[in-house]
Amino acid sequence: MPQFSPAAYLPLMTKRETIIIDCDPGIDDAVALLLAFASPEELDIKAVTTVAGNVPLHRTEANARRIRDLAGRGEVPVHAGCPRPLIRALKTADEIHGKTGLDGSDLPDALSALAPGHGADVLRREISAAPGGITLLPVGPLTNVAHALAARPEFAQEVSNIVVMGGSTGPGNVTPHAEFNFHVDPHAAHIVFESGAPIVMHGLNVTHQVRAKPDWIQALRALETTVGHTTAGMLTFYDSDNDPALHDVLTVGYLLWPELFSGEARRVDIVTEGDEAGRSIVRDAGDGVPNATVMLDVDADAFLARLLDRLARYS
Q: Which of 79, 177, 208, 247 is catalytic?
A: 247
* Helical spans, DSSP H, in the chain: 27-37, 57-71, 94-97, 119-129, 143-151, 155-158, 180-184, 186-193, 204-207, 214-221, 226-237, 249-256, 300-311
Which residues, 6 or more positions from 228, have their beta carbon under 8 angstroms from its beta carbon?
220, 221, 222, 311, 312, 314
Nearer to ligand BDR, 202 or 313 (CB): 202
Give the nearer residue to Ca ion in terms of CB position, either 6 or 203: 203
Binding-site member from 190, 202, 247, 313 for ligand BDR (CB under 6 A): 247
CA distance 48 to 149: 18
**Do 310 and 38 touch, CB atoms closer than 8 A?**
yes
- Name which position in 22, 28, 126, 239 contacts ligand BDR (CB under 6 A): 28
Decide if residue 181 touches ligand BDR (CB under 6 A).
yes
Q: Is residue 185 a contact residue for ligand BDR (CB under 6 A)?
A: no
Residues 6 or more apart in contact with residue 121 via CB below 8 angstroms: 148, 151
Distance CA 301, CA 115 (A): 37
The answer to the question of residue 57 lying near ligand BDR (CB under 6 A) is no
User: Of Ca ion, ligand BDR, none, which one does residue 162 interact with (CB within 5 to 8 Å by kind)?
Assistant: none
C-beta of 54 vs 272, nearer to ligand BDR = 54
- 144 within 8 A of 122, measured Cβ to Cβ: no
| 179 is an interface residue for ligand BDR by CB under 6 A | yes
Among 180, 193, 216, 314, binds ligand BDR (CB under 6 A): 180
On whether the CB atoms of residues 64 and 30 are closer than 8 A, the answer is no
Residues that bind Ca ion (CB under 5 A): 24, 26, 29, 139-140, 248
Task: For residue 58, indicate whether it is catalytic.
Answer: no
The residue within the footprint of ligand BDR, chosen from 21, 38, 64, 93 (CB under 6 A), is: 93
Q: Shortest approach of ligand BDR to residue 173 CB, angstroms?
A: 5
Pick from 49, 92, 248, 310 the residue near ligand BDR by CB under 6 A. Answer: 248
**Of all helices (H) and strands (E), which one includes residue 137?**
strand 135-138
Query: Can residue 96 be called a binding residue for ligand BDR (CB under 6 A)?
Result: yes
Residue 164 and residue 251 in contact, taking contact as beta carbons nearer than 8 Å: yes
Count CB neighbours of 293 within 10 A: 18
Cis bond leading into 26, ω under 30°? Answer: yes
Do residues 140 and 27 lie in contact, with contact meaning Cβ atoms separated by under 8 Å?
no
Asked if 69 interacts with ligand BDR (CB under 6 A), we say no
Decide: is 22 part of the binding site for ligand BDR (CB under 6 A). Answer: no
Q: Which does 96 bind (CB under 5 to 8 A by kind): ligand BDR, Ca ion, none?
A: ligand BDR
Judged by beta carbon, residue 63 or residue 225, the one nearer ligand BDR is 63
CB of 28 to ligand BDR, least distance (A): 5
- Pick between residue 26 and residue 263 the one whose CB is nearest to Ca ion: 26
Pairing of strands 280-284, 261-270: antiparallel
CB of 181 to ligand BDR, least distance (A): 5
Give me the least distance between CB of 144 and Ca ion, in Å please: 13
How many angstroms from the chain centroid is the CA of residue 94? 17
Q: Which residues bind ligand BDR (CB under 6 A)?
A: 26, 28-29, 54, 93, 96, 139-140, 165, 173, 179-181, 247-248
